[in-house]
């Protein structure tokens, strides 16, 4: 008999069910980023106007979104990770929490000092600080209830991900794939902060919480047990110990299956020659039991990564119609440029197609083996060390990076903010030193050639057929998370700083507004006192904006992003503000 | 015969005449901050909405306003004093100028790293950097045309004031009254940057450009020549050399009289015992010939200052009706709490009345001598060193500080953003060391007792009678500059971050909007493509906001302002953005 499963967090559950709240980063457990609110709709969104604004007092990149529970909004900031509880009535501050963090963590954050937001549950607000401290704050007072250390910045471990509340656990990941950090997710008890379980991405079976006989993967056209030492035997010697596979994305949860889903990142180093083998389970989609952490299934998208196609992008849970049949699906837009549809119960691969036509590093994904078919011209492994492999699409930051997509429950289409960027990639030999960058490649990035000249598209995706329904070109990568609403609108922000509302039917622009700084935050919505609001953080940064955020100027600095995005400085400047919009009162 | 007077700057003159532009910090030479634009008016201002926004990328206090000339807006920032030229059409950047300044200047700026804005003229944009470098930029390209050093930060000389273009001169001041800096204004040739003339506030007649026989002052109920050594003989020994009287305010200019007007600041140190005498001409209103710098007249408001009632506040030029007669007036709201009306041609004192009823340090200004009658209880000189004089009103930051008032041409009333703050003041002996603070007093500040509990009022002032027409209480000091328009509106910002539109008739609130950070900038307006816009910088700081801006926490830090304004942290946070508002399109 199974042990008694934990109950769902009642407060979060009920808060999430009421669309007036925005109680979790994605609005729900399924990562759908869809709201039932429709006071703001396609025919009146043209009148949308800024309702109120708040400065965070921090300049660098602002990712994630605030949370709204009842009459309170919880606002976070990038490092130093301030938290402010704001009364929705009059925008005064209920409380502020300002952690003291050692600034020594800043240089070990690969891609700006971002923070992807807070979690709510059990009357608490959870903050995952950059220095890996996970803090539980009383939602009413801001007082610290408990606090734990989730890692060690001295060996390059940091945190940028939002914690996630699933049932009686607060679940968090780790960053540091560029420092040889060994990825894992850790579940903490929501009441006490005690470790409930910890599951690594690479290493011995027991440390990954993999059961060689019960944990399955997709191979040979079917779901099969992974077998013994499925990770270790794909690494040379002890390399898995500094093997990466970090876990800094947005997790989702299926209460019925009691499974949580997330992706693991790139293997360390970026020089593939130094780490022969498939490097499992970096670059993989994971399904874990929330109570025990045990792995139900795992699927590796990019075996033996040669391009930093870090697999952490979110898994969106939805029922997708495939060839006339409803599949309990997980939809994932990977950095590698393929949009994956899997059966989330079994881990069976259903669809894997390019969601940006520029993708050239692989011809297709072999549906039997689940492996992408690499084009040798773009294999940095085959071309070898100190050889510059040119014109690889997408660039290391992928056809999509952390910017989460949204699901349109009405049309069944996925609304995806994408990058349209290619790269030259030159791997080189690198020594591991704890706490030092362990990158091993020089990159430069540029807009996808022979296209519209821009670096991004906002697309609608049919996950059942693996086809782009429509695509709206953007000058820069769309680094902000999308929101679809029952008002027949999809919102997203641009790096120049426009918040846009477009039609989910055809991408037609319905409205836009220029916020002070480029947008890398995620759009959210809530209702207060009978009025619907839509909000977003403004504050350029993240990997795409690292040049501005960190004041870098050489093209290949910022892991290669500085050159590609240098034109951003002609459009926007740093600055962190929250913008909230509503329809005029009369 | 007089030498040929220089001509007005044709470009500035014509730009200023067109209300579509905002070509000078006050909109005009007279410092009226009044606009003829009236598309936005009292009946539709309730519909005003944010049109677009831009982040400056700088966190600390944002004073002044952008300039608008034709289709370009010129935006400045606090230290490091970036300048951006923005296309009004699409808010893209035409050019950026980012000076490299030694950050060593920051600790010698007394009251935040503010900058009060740019000047326009002769096809150039003039930037007065914090490190005292005055730069002329080509308005079209942002290229440096010339650049000069106006002072030396090593001895505490800095700049926060906007430069002013009057005719063929760029005129600038100096800050550092808290460092024993000897105040002066300097006129530079607009074409070359060569010094045209320099006039000190204290010292020998020839260095002040004072003619003992021709320069007049108000005494004994009439205007009389100042006589020989009018400054030097009011100082002990060489003390005038470190005597203060800095000049960091907003200057005005009367083209017909060819006179410019400005105020000089406090004598150094703040400990009055250390500098016996009237300390002339600190704390004075000055009228200088723009071509030669020669002083036409000078009037000292606060002889032998004992409270830091720094006299730099702006002079507003308007014809004021006094007892049925039109007086070519200069109206000035001094830090000392008196509103002065003088005849700007002659320097004759016409009216001097309290514009905040809380003012208690003097009973009144003797209209014959022009001297305030000090209440001994509040005389920090009489109470002596190391004695805490309590309950002095106003506090050192005055009933008004740098925040400029506006004039309502329709009603003839002045719209004045004020402080409603009192203080305890304890002078102590201090040694002068070049480049080190030379303050000599410990202060604490608090809301005016037995009043509405707030720290500010926005008032309408009748400069002919010296009476408050109406007064609107505010929670915090109103540190933002006002704008009156022909649309029967007066705009101002609050430290909590509300931009407000009120009726100049009675102060009734017509509209407000919460910008991201507290407002210490000045409201401005312009028209582009047939549409009127109203804008303001958001970005808390300045002396009132120094606690947040500089991260200070002790109540008496920030020259005594930190304690008084500590509640600001419950309402707002740092961040520099420009907000531009307009009426909806349909
Ligand atoms: O390997 C890692 O641990 C790691 C961490 C992070 C992060 O924590 O932000 C990023 C990445 N990798 C990364 O590859 C990446 O593209 C990236 C983009 C961003 C961002 O916030 O814009 N973070 C990260
Ligand atoms: O004596 C000086 O030279 C000097 C300079 C400044 C300045 O340059 O900002 C201020 C003051 N004094 C001052 O007394 C004062 O109240 C003040 C307020 C502010 C401000 O910007 O909020 N600056 C200054």
Strand boundaries in A360-440, DSSP class E: 362-365, 372-374, 389-392, 406-407, 414-419, 421-427
Q: In this predicted structure, what is the pLDDT of residue B5? A: 61
Confidence check: pLDDT of A256 > 60? yes
The tokens for B541 are 């700081």
Q: List % helix, strand, coil for chain A (3-state, nearest 5).
A: 10, 35, 50
- Token pair 């150039």: residue: B124
Q: Report the gap between the CA of B128 and the closest CA in chain A (Å).
A: 22
Q: Under a CB-based contact definition with an 8 Å cutoff, are residues B252 and B260 in contact? A: yes
Confidence check: pLDDT of A1 > 90? no
Instruction: For residues A99-120, give the mean pLDDT.
Output: 97
Confidence of residue A5 (pLDDT cuts 50, 70, 90): low
Question: How far is A573 from B76, CA to CA, in rounded Å?
Answer: 13
- Token pair 């409270």: residue: B307
The tokens for A35 are 């709201």
Confidence of residue B502 (pLDDT cuts 50, 70, 90): very high
Proportion of chain A above pLDDT 70, given as a percent: 99
Q: In this predicted structure, what is the pLDDT of residue B7? A: 78
Instruction: For residues B232-249, give the mean pLDDT.
Output: 98
Interface test with chain A among B84, B92, B533, B575, by most A beta carbons within 10 Å: B575
- Token pair 């709490």: residue: B337
CB contact under 8 Å between B513 and A538, yes or no, is no
Active site residues of A: 308
Q: pLDDT for A513-546, tens place per residue?
A: 999 999 999 999 999 999 999 999 999 999 999 9
- Per-residue 3-state assignment (H helix, E strand, C coil) for B107-155: HHCECECCCCCCEEECCEEEEECCCCEEEEEECCCCCEEEEEECCCHHH
Q: Under a CB-based contact definition with an 8 Å cutoff, are residues A473 and A417 in contact? A: no
Which residues does residue B138 pair with via DSSP β-bridges, in sequence order? Answer: B124
Proportion of chain B above pLDDT 90, given as a percent: 98
Q: Give the number of whichever ligand sits closest to the CA of residue A518.
A: 1
CB contact under 8 Å between B571 and A516, yes or no, is no
Distance between Cα A419 and ligand 1 center (Å): 15
Q: In this predicted structure, what is the pLDDT of residue B3? A: 52
CB contact under 8 Å between B57 and A573, yes or no, is yes
Q: Which of A515, A519, A522 is nearest to A579 (CA)?
A: A515
Instruction: For residues A68-97, give the mean pLDDT.
Output: 97
Q: Under a CB-based contact definition with an 8 Å cutoff, are residues B496 and B538 in contact? A: no
CB contact under 8 Å between B54 and A516, yes or no, is yes
Q: pLDDT for B505-554, tens place per residue?
A: 999 999 999 999 999 999 999 999 999 999 999 999 999 999 999 999 99
Distance between Cα A531 and ligand 1 center (Å): 36
CB contact under 8 Å between A575 and B577, yes or no, is yes
Q: Under a CB-based contact definition with an 8 Å cutoff, are residues A458 and A444 in contact? A: no
CB contact under 8 Å between A577 and B577, yes or no, is yes
Q: In chain B, which residue's Cα lies nearest the Cα of A517?
A: B55
Question: How far is B238 from A227, CA to CA, in rounded Å?
Answer: 91
Q: pLDDT for B1-50, tens place per residue?
A: 445 667 778 899 999 999 999 999 999 999 999 999 999 999 999 999 99
* Ligand 1 site, CB within 6 A: A 63, 110-112, 114, 160, 175-178, 246, 248, 265-266, 310, 397, 401-402, 542-543
Taking CB atoms and an 8 Å cutoff, what residues of chain B touch A43? Answer: none
Q: In chain B, which residue's Cα lies nearest the Cα of A57?
A: B574
Q: In this predicted structure, what is the pLDDT of residue B161? A: 98
Q: In chain B, which residue's Cα lies nearest the Cα of A569?
A: B93
Taking CB atoms and an 8 Å cutoff, what residues of chain B touch A548? Answer: 57
Q: In this predicted structure, what is the pLDDT of residue B586? A: 65
Neighbours of A86 (CB within 10 A): 23
Question: How far is A367 from A370, CA to CA, in rounded Å?
Answer: 5
Taking CB atoms and an 8 Å cutoff, what residues of chain B touch A575? Answer: 55-57, 575-577
Q: In chain B, which residue's Cα lies nearest the Cα of A95?
A: B570
Instruction: For residues B287-303, give the mean pLDDT.
Output: 98
Instruction: For residues B367-381, give the mean pLDDT.
Output: 98
Nearest residue (by CA) to ligand 1, atom 24, is A111
CB contact under 8 Å between B55 and A584, yes or no, is no
Ligand 1 pocket test: pick from A61, A161, A175, A455 the residue with the most ligand atoms within 8 Å of its Cβ. A175
Q: In this predicted structure, what is the pLDDT of residue A4? A: 60
Residues of B with CB under 8 A from a CB of A: 47, 49-50, 52-57, 59, 84, 91-93, 96, 497, 513-517, 538, 548, 569-578, 584
B308 is catalytic: yes
The secondary structure of residue A70, as a DSSP letter, is: T
Q: In this predicted structure, what is the pLDDT of residue A98? A: 96
CB contact under 8 Å between B513 and A571, yes or no, is no
Confidence check: pLDDT of B491 > 50? yes
Phi-psi region of B495 (alpha: psi -120 to 50; beta: other; left: phi over 0): alpha
* Nearest CB partner across the interface for A575, out of B50, B56, B572: B56
The tokens for A249 are 């994305």
Nearest residue (by CA) to ligand 1, atom 23, is A111
CB-count exposure of residue A503 (10 Å: 0-12, 13-18, 19+): middle
Question: How far is A2 from B532, CA to CA, in rounded Å?
Answer: 70
The secondary structure of residue A304, as a DSSP letter, is: T
Instruction: For residues A172-178, give the mean pLDDT.
Output: 97
Taking CB atoms and an 8 Å cutoff, what residues of chain B touch A571? Answer: 92-93
Question: How far is A399 from B383, CA to CA, in rounded Å?
Answer: 73
Complex ipTM: 0.94
Contacts of A14 (CB under 8 A, 6+ apart): none
Confidence of residue A492 (pLDDT cuts 50, 70, 90): very high
Q: Is A490 helix (H, G, I), strand (E, B) or coil?
A: strand
The secondary structure of residue A267, as a DSSP letter, is: B
Neighbours of B236 (CB within 10 A): 11
The tokens for B96 are 């950026």
A vs B, Cβ pairs < 8 A, gives: 91
Ligand 1 pocket test: pick from A111, A160, A202, A419 the residue with the most ligand atoms within 8 Å of its Cβ. A111
Cα atoms in the Cβ-side hemisphere of radius 13 Å centred on A280: 20
Q: Report the gap between the CA of A100 and the closest CA in chain B (Å).
A: 13
Give the distance from CA B502 to its chain's centroid.
22
Could you give the strand order of the β-sheet that contains B93-97, starting from the edge strand earlier in sequence?
B67-69, B72-76, B83-87, B93-97
Taking all residues of chain A, what is their mean pLDDT, rounded to a whole number? 97
Confidence of residue B585 (pLDDT cuts 50, 70, 90): confident
Distance between Cα A543 and ligand 1 center (Å): 7
* Nearest CB partner across the interface for A516, out of B569, B572, B577: B577
Q: Give the number of whichever ligand sits closest to the CA of residue B128.
A: 2
Q: In chain A, which residue's Cα lies nearest the Cα of B83?
A: A573
The angle formed by the CA atoms of residues B323, B329 and B333, to the nearest 5 degrees, is: 100
Q: In this predicted structure, what is the pLDDT of residue B8? A: 77
Q: In this predicted structure, what is the pLDDT of residue A586? A: 65
Taking CB atoms and an 8 Å cutoff, what residues of chain A touch B571? Answer: 92-93
Q: In this predicted structure, what is the pLDDT of residue A167? A: 96
Q: Report the gap between the CA of A124 and the closest CA in chain B (Å).
A: 21
Q: Catalytic residue among B308, B334, B424, B488, which?
A: B308
Instruction: For residues B401-427, give the mean pLDDT.
Output: 98
């Amino acid at each position: 008999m199974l042990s008694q499963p934990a109950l769902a967090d009642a407060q979060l559950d009920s808060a999430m069910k009421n669309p007036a709240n925005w109680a979790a980063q994605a609005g729900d457990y399924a990562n759908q980023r869809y709201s039932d609110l429709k006071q703001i709709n396609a025919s009146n969104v043209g009148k949308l106007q800024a309702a109120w604004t708040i400065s965070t007092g921090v300049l660098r990149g602002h990712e994630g979104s605030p949370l709204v529970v009842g009459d309170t909004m919880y606002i976070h900031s990038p490092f130093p990770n301030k938290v402010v509880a704001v009364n929705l009535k009059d925008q005064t501050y209920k409380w502020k929490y300002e952690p003291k963090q050692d600034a020594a963590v800043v240089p070990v954050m690969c891609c700006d000092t971002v923070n992807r937001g807070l979690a709510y549950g059990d009357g608490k607000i959870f903050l995952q600080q950059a220095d890996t401290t996970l803090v539980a704050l009383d939602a009413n007072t801001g007082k610290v209830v408990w606090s734990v250390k989730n890692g060690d910045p001295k060996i390059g471990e940091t945190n940028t991900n939002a914690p996630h509340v699933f049932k009686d656990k607060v679940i968090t990941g780790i960053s540091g794939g560029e420092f040889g950090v060994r990825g894992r997710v850790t579940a903490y008890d929501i009441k006490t902060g005690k470790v409930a379980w910890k599951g690594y991405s690479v290493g011995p079976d027991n440390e990954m919480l993999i059961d060689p006989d019960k944990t399955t993967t997709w191979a040979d056209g079917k779901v099969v047990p992974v077998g013994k030492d499925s990770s270790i035997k794909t690494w040379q010697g002890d390399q898995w110990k500094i093997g990466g596979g970090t876990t800094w994305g947005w997790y989702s949860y299926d209460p019925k299956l009691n499974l949580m889903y997330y992706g693991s990142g790139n293997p360390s180093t970026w020089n593939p020659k130094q780490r022969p083998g498939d490097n499992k389970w970096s670059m993989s989609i994971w399904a874990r039991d929330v109570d025990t952490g045990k792995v139900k299934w795992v699927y590796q998208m990019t075996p033996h990564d040669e391009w930093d196609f870090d697999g952490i992008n979110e898994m969106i849970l939805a029922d997708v119609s495939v060839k006339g049949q409803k599949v309990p699906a997980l939809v994932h837009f990977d950095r590698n440029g393929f949009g994956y549809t899997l059966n989330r119960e079994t881990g069976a691969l259903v669809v894997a197609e390019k969601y940006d036509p520029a993708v050239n590093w692989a011809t297709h994904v072999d549906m039997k083996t689940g492996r992408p078919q690499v084009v040798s011209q773009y294999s940095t492994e085959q071309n070898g060390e100190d050889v510059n492999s040119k014109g690889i699409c997408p660039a290391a930051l992928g056809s999509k990076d952390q910017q989460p997509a949204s699901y349109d429950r009405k049309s069944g289409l996925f609304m995806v903010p994408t990058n349209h960027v290619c790269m030259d990639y030159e791997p080189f030999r690198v020594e591991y030193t704890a706490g030092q960058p362990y990158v091993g490649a020089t990159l430069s990035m540029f807009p996808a050639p022979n296209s519209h000249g821009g670096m991004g598209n906002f697309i609608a995706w049919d996950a059942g057929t693996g086809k782009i329904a429509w695509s709206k070109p953007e000058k820069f990568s769309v680094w902000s998370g999308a929101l679809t609403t029952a008002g027949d609108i999809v919102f997203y922000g641009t790096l120049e700083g426009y918040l846009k509302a477009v039609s989910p039917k055809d991408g037609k622009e319905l409205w836009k507004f220029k916020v002070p700084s480029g947008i890398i935050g995620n759009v959210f919505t809530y209702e207060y006192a009978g009025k619907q609001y839509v909000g977003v953080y403004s504050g350029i940064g993240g990997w795409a904006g690292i040049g501005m955020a960190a004041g870098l100027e050489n093209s290949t600095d910022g892991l290669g992003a500085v050159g590609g995005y240098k034109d951003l400085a002609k459009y926007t400047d740093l600055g962190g503000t929250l913008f909230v919009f509503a329809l005029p009162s009369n």
